[in-house]
Amino acid sequence: MPPKTPAFNYKRWNDRRSRIYNACITHAYLLGQVLDVDVFSDLIVLLRRALKLKTVHEQALRNSLLEFAETEFTEEVGDRIAVRLAGGYDEIKVGRPVVSSNTVPAKGAWMPIEVAEMRFDTVKFNKARVKMTALVLIGGLSGKMFTQQMPAKATSIFFANTLGWAKFGGRPAHSELVQMKFTGLVVRDKKKDFQIDEYKCTAGQLRLNKELREARQEPCLRGHRYQCRTCPIGYSTCPRGTHRYTWVQRLCPKCKDERAIFDPAEPNTRVCLLCRSRSARSSWARERRGVT
């Protein structure tokens, strides 16, 4: 029998995550700054106030975020910090730091997880694969992000069914699984990488997933005509987004499109998102005919 799923209040957690992230990002001077001694100290004070904690809690906050010291503060770093502190708030409140761990028990551990990103990846044995970026929400791995390759067909059928899609009827686009919640058995594979060996959804997670699915079917909050699954706006800005950051447009040297889309979280990527996924999308178009 698998270990009991950790108790988790998503509404309270998400409120804390939003408060922390917004507090960091609205202080524009932080973006692009290296978190040296002075800037890091300013960040700790900012976070303490966002969480409505006392001065006595600053040391626990500092020890919880030491791995981010001397790194550049980006939107991704801000979000990882927000997830870490939202998931470990109860520990910090009693003066215990939330120390990031890179280990899990030999048999794995069940953890609440959010799908942070879902994209077409490569083609293997003439089958399209997608790359899922998973975000651990609480525990020693709180704020940890890791990627995992999954068969596109299995993602659209079995994984989507677990997240609440009906077993029969239309299948979701992979991007529509982004921001969905589930509980995964996190293990370390032979390469010592984190992977999800099994997954399931609690009743509360299914309810949250349903609410997000239904919200994405409503008229756009900004009056745009395109659907959420193809919208360029990221969920760092819009709560219904199907990818993390708002895409930027620039010239792609491969397809020569001057308005090709790129992910700002990958500044060193020269080829646009559509060119990178062309072979996988073509393969999936063929596979999709057999998906019911």
Structure confidence by residue, pLDDT tens digits, 2-60: 445 556 788 888 889 889 988 888 776 788 889 999 999 999 999 999 999 999 999 99
Average pLDDT, the chain: 88
Task: Sketch the domain layout of the chain as residue ranges.
Answer: 10-93, 109-288
The confidence score (pLDDT) of residue 10 equals 84
**Residue of 140 and 97 predicted with greater confidence:** 97
Do residues 130 and 120 lie in contact, with contact meaning Cβ atoms separated by under 8 Å? yes
Q: What is the pLDDT of residues 100-134, one digit of tens each?
A: 777 888 888 899 999 999 999 989 888 999 999 99
Q: How confident is the model at residue 291 (pLDDT cuts 50, 70, 90)?
A: low
The confidence score (pLDDT) of residue 1 equals 41
The amino acid occupying position 140 is G
The confidence score (pLDDT) of residue 288 equals 79
The confidence score (pLDDT) of residue 138 equals 84
Q: What is the pLDDT of residues 194-215, one digit of tens each?
A: 999 999 999 999 999 999 999 9
Task: Name the percent of the chain lying above pLDDT 70.
Answer: 96
pLDDT exceeds cutoff 80 at 139 = no
The confidence score (pLDDT) of residue 98 equals 84
